[in-house]
């Protein structure tokens, strides 16, 4: 089963020479963002990353070079958010990808015209790529679920439903921001284990969560179910997601209805959305240990089994206030891979809609923290410090159990594979400010 | 402490004579909806209920009769959704209420002009009153929490955090519909207590939840906290909410992150939003049993203690397919009152934003099922049938443990009090269709 086409051809080079060999944005990638020239009040608009530049889709639309589906998709991509583009669906988005790939290809007849549509990424600022219509966070790493479960419920870490149900819960759209987001340390109720009454004050156990985000493309109406065989047609693409978490608030509030204020003060995503089609070369078989139950029939398809998984290398770094003052580069905290996910993106979409829940272009599905099986593959401080029992010592001598004011967390994601051109998701950066209290 | 003004004066009568003595929509109410003439493709627009009629706010805006804040608010109310009106905030909405109350008053100079802006409610159809930006569902009835807790966790019905934390969780916006909503019985995973593997199929324990909804008006930015003394300034108004629930799906999926597919297949709200100001005559003291902890300081204010609670009588009725075939009117299942809520609307808003979570005009906060202390005040079948152990026998001989295909659930809400004119919220009707399986 191959999902590859000419746009994935490793031999393709672009006349945008910075794209060739670019570790994030070669011509095989072509991710979307919403951008404008920095320090202006220009209209936000869609752009496509190519090497060190952005192809301004509003300018491309004005040139009227493309035709048919690609033309309609270009118009959608020139809007102030990508929701319309997402809603066009896989066929039109694929047509746009092919047209852009050809137009950016070495020797394209459109080179002269499109050169006027480029802006350096260094000169741009980014907005949210779309209006997030609804946000759902899943819990797809069994390693994370087991590690966190053993801290919150030592006697019962992995609940009996975990291997059957892609566990998820609704999150908050209003506090999702794009890379560069800053937010004050949240304030709220916490309770010490031996206290009889709760405390009120700034969170003492602030954490990040290393996740991937899945953006829904074409939507559905109430009562409509997305079959597993059609699920990927409804996925526009993926981004990096940092689902900041206040562990002490979470521990006190989360029963019986789940996390609430522990999660909804901020979540940060990368500006770039890498499309489903761009990820095709990095697909993997979806497998389960023989001792685990196989997914129920509605979560099973031949394509999902053969190529439903994705090989996306993830890393998480910290840059403290002191590191910034001393011009020290960020230090890596952990590295993991999306391939450890217990459920595939298609399974998440199918499960989410199996009850008739309407999906909307711009819905964001978080993968949940992508911890791997090894201790240094943990996607949160909660896991790396064993719930704050163990201190991490950074290279500059600072120590961390949880985040301190001024800490910036940087997350990166790449797809690398023999025979394919490496692509990247850019990065997501978020910075914790002191509590306003 | 009085929040009453001339718009609440019981002596006020309208030149719209059907409003005088109207049990829902006298001149003292003036709730908002989004409507158009039924069976047309007219633009949706805001309207205000007055007696049996709707005052068409787009036509009022075109007449240009009102001035200042009331004029700006009228323009906002003529849009296709009420989000802009909600975002104007309490001062401008109060100005609009006063101007409309005066313009609809017997003897108003505007009577002749405004008569052309009326349409009979019987000739209208309704849309969602606003785009629901984020939906949060709380759990404010301690009677419901205890009853449900004893079914899901017999050994541990009311968790230790309940009396301290206004427990809430994020819900799904995309499946919220306006009264008249129909939806197929949801399909999903369930597991019988003694089974080793889950089943897949239509929900067997479909339930309603009798709730009130709180709509946020003026919003906040990330990091901004709404103090309890300012919380009501951020509440635009309230509606009736039926939070449909699939109990068997819920029991299997809800741990550890809360309800998900058990809730997000449909939620139905009344078309009319009764404003915070219209509810002023029905305020009550907020009290706690002496044996219960008093709320933490951030959830306490003099005004909240004195008049933070609301006396809203609620009722829930069923009309089965057979009842409709035989032209039988709906039969009441239970009646309750919002006054049993363990937390006030102001406390919900303050708690929700205490961590800096941004609130947006159009956010909907569900109260949670409003069960009262008595068995016949239960706001769900789960409670009325003791988790399906006991059958309800309807007047026509039909029995119910949970809902059957074709059942319609009708919820109503009224505020009645000596010395005040009775006002109502209209009703919310939703109908369960057979599963598509």
| Chain segment B297-337, per-residue pLDDT in tens | 999 999 999 999 999 999 999 999 999 999 999 999 999 99
Q: What b-and-e string marks burial along A381-406, b requiring 16 or more CB atoms within 10 Å of the CB? A: bbbbbebbeeeeebeeebebbbbbeb
By residue range, what is the domain housing residue B418?
135-433
Are B4 and B246 in contact by the 8 Å Cβ rule? The answer is no
Q: Contact A200/A189 with Cβ under 8 angstroms? A: yes
Verify that A117 and A11 share a domain, yes or no. Answer: yes
DSSP bridge pairs for B238: B214, B274
Residues A224 and A116 in one domain: no
Average pLDDT rounded to a whole number, residues B402-420: 97
Structure tokens at A206: 């602030």
CB contacts of B184 in chain A (<8 Å) are 223, 356
Which of B126, B155, B184 is a domain's end point? B126
- Report the gap between the CA of A420 and the closest CA in chain B (Å): 38
**Domain containing residue B287: CATH number:** 3.90.850.10
User: What is the chain B residue with the closest CA to A436?
Assistant: B223
* Count of Cβ atoms closer than 10 Å to residue B382 Cβ: 26
Burial of A57 (0-12, 13-18, 19+ CB in 10 A): buried
Tokens found for residue A162: 């975990």
Q: Are residues A351 and A334 in the same domain?
A: yes
Three-state secondary structure of B47-103: EEEECCEEEEHHHHHHHCCCCHHHHHHHHHHCCCCCHHHHHHCHHHHHHHHHHHHHH
**B329-338 confidence digits (pLDDT tens):** 999 999 999 9
Distance from C-alpha of A167 to C-alpha of B285, rounded to nearest angstrom: 41
Q: B166 in contact with A at a CB cutoff of 8 Å? A: no
Identify the CATH number of the domain in which residue A62 sits: 2.30.30.230
Do A212 and A241 form a contact (C-beta atoms < 8 A)?
yes
Task: Tell me: do A123 and A160 sit in the same domain.
Answer: no
Cis before A256? omega within 30: yes
Q: B-chain residues within 8 Å CB-CB of A197? A: 164, 293
Give the tokens for residue A22: 């670019």
**Of A139, A170, A260, which has the smallest distance from its Cβ to B172's Cβ?**
A170
Identify the residue whose tokens are 């393709």.
A12
Domain boundary among the residues A111, A127, A143 is at A127
Half-sphere CA count of B364, side-chain side, radius 13 A: 32
Q: What phi, psi does A237 have (nearest 5°)?
A: 175, -170
φ, ψ of residue A206 to 5 degrees: the values are: -85, 135
For B50, residues 6+ apart whose C-beta sits below 8 A from its C-beta are B14, B16, B19, B25, B27, B30, B104, B118
A chain contacts of residue B363, beta-carbon cutoff 8 Å: 174
Pairs of CB atoms within 8 A across A/B: 204
For B332-359, what is the mean pLDDT? 98
Question: Are the CB atoms for A173 and A216 separated by under 8 Å?
Answer: no
Same domain for B195 and B262?
yes
In a domain, B70, yes or no: yes
Same domain, B268 and B379: yes
User: How many whole angstroms separate alpha carbon B51 and alpha carbon B120?
Assistant: 9
A182, A305: one domain: yes
Helices (H) and strands (E) in chain B, counts: 11, 26
Does one domain contain both B106 and B139? no
How are beta strands B423-433 and B408-415 bridged, if at all?
antiparallel
Q: How many domains does chain B have?
A: 2
Residue A1 lies in a domain: no
Q: What share of chain A is helix, strand, coil (3-state, %, to 5)?
A: 25, 25, 50
> Is residue B1, in this structure, part of any structural domain at all?
no
Q: How far apart are CA B118 and CA B363, in angstroms?
A: 29
> Do residues A99 and A153 share a domain?
no
DSSP state for residue A376 in the 8-state scheme: G
Residues A275, A409 within the same domain: yes
For residue B402, the Cα-to-chain-centroid distance in whole angstroms is 22
Residues B285 and B145 in one domain: yes
Q: Show which of A92, A127, A162 is a domain's final residue.
A: A127
Tell me whether residue A192 is in a domain.
yes
- Residue B82 CA to residue B85 CA, distance in Å, equals 5
Burial readout B408-434 (b: 16 or more C-beta within 10 A, e: otherwise): bbbbbbbbeeeebbbbbbbbbbbbbee
B174 has a pLDDT exceeding 70: yes
Task: Considering only the C-alpha atoms of chain B, give the largest distance between any 2 of them, rounded to a whole number of Å.
Answer: 74
Cα B406 from Cα B421, distance rounded (Å): 36
Domain presence at residue B417 = yes
Regarding whether B174 and B110 lie in a shared domain, the answer is: no
Tens of pLDDT along chain A (437 residues) come to 678 999 999 999 999 999 999 999 999 999 999 999 999 999 999 999 999 999 999 999 999 999 999 999 999 999 999 999 999 999 999 999 999 999 999 999 999 999 999 999 999 999 999 999 999 999 999 999 999 888 878 888 899 999 999 999 999 999 999 999 999 999 999 999 899 999 999 999 999 999 999 999 999 999 999 999 999 999 999 999 999 999 999 999 999 999 999 999 999 999 999 999 999 999 999 999 999 999 999 999 999 999 999 999 999 999 999 999 999 999 999 999 999 999 999 999 999 999 999 999 999 999 999 999 999 999 999 999 999 999 999 999 999 999 999 999 999 999 999 999 999 999 999 999 999 97
Cβ of A329: how many Cβ atoms within 10 Å?
Answer: 10
**From the candidates A8, A22, A143, A144, which is the catalytic residue?**
A144
Q: Is B357 on the interface with A (CB under 8 A)?
A: yes
- How far away is chain B from the Cα of A149, in angstroms, using its nearest Cα? 9
Residue B154 has pLDDT above 90, yes or no: no
Cα separation, A338 vs A312, whole angstroms: 5
Enclosing H/E stretch for B409 = strand B408-415
Q: Smallest CA–CA separation between B257 and chain A, in Å? A: 4
Q: Is the ipTM of this complex over 0.85?
A: yes
Q: Does B383 have pLDDT greater than 70?
A: yes
């Amino acid at each position: 089963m191959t999902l590859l086409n000419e746009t994935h051809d490793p031999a393709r080079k672009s006349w945008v020479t910075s794209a060739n060999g670019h570790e994030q944005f070669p011509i095989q990638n072509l991710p979307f963002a919403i951008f404008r020239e920095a320090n202006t009040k220009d209209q936000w608009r869609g752009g496509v990353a190519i090497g060190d530049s952005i192809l301004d889709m509003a300018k491309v639309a004005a040139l009227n070079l493309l035709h048919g589906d690609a033309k309609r998709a270009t118009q959608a991509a020139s809007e102030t958010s990508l929701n319309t583009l997402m809603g066009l669906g896989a066929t039109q988005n694929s047509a746009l990808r092919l047209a852009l790939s050809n137009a950016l290809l070495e020797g394209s007849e459109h080179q002269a015209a499109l050169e006027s549509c480029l802006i350096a990424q260094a000169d741009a600022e980014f907005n949210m790529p779309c209006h997030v219509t609804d946000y759902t966070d899943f819990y797809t790493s069994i390693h994370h679920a087991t590690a966190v479960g053993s801290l919150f419920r030592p006697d019962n870490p992995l609940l009996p439903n975990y291997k059957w149900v892609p566990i998820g819960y609704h999150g908050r759209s209003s506090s999702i921001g794009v890379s560069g987001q800053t937010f004050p340390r949240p304030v709220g109720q916490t309770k010490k284990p031996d206290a009889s009454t709760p405390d009120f004050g700034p969170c003492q156990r602030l954490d990040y969560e290393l996740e991937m985000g899945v953006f829904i493309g074409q939507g559905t109406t109430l009562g409509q179910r997305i079959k597993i065989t059609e699920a990927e047609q409804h996925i526009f693409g993926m981004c990096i997601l940092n689902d900041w978490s206040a562990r002490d608030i979470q521990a006190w509030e989360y029963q019986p209805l789940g996390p609430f204020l522990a999660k909804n003060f901020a979540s940060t995503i990368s500006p770039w959305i890498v499309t489903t089609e761009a990820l095709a070369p990095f697909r993997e078989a979806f497998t389960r240990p023989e001792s685990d139950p196989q997914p129920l029939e509605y979560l099973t398809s031949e394509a999902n089994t053969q190529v439903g998984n994705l090989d996306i290398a993830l890393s998480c770094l910290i840059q403290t206030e002191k590191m910034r003052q001393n011009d020290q580069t960020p230090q890596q905290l952990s590295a993991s891979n999306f391939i450890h996910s217990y459920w595939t993106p298609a399974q998440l979409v199918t499960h989410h809609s199996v009850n008739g829940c309407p999906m909307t272009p711009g819905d964001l599905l978080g993968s949940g923290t992508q911890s791997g099986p090894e201790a240094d593959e943990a996607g949160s401080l909660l896991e790396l410090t064993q719930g704050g029992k163990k201190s991490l010592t950074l290279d500059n001598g600072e120590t961390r159990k949880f985040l301190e004011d001024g800490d910036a967390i940087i997350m990166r994601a790449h797809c690398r594979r023999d025979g394919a051109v490496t692509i990247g998701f850019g990065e997501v950066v978020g910075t914790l400010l002191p509590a306003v209290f």
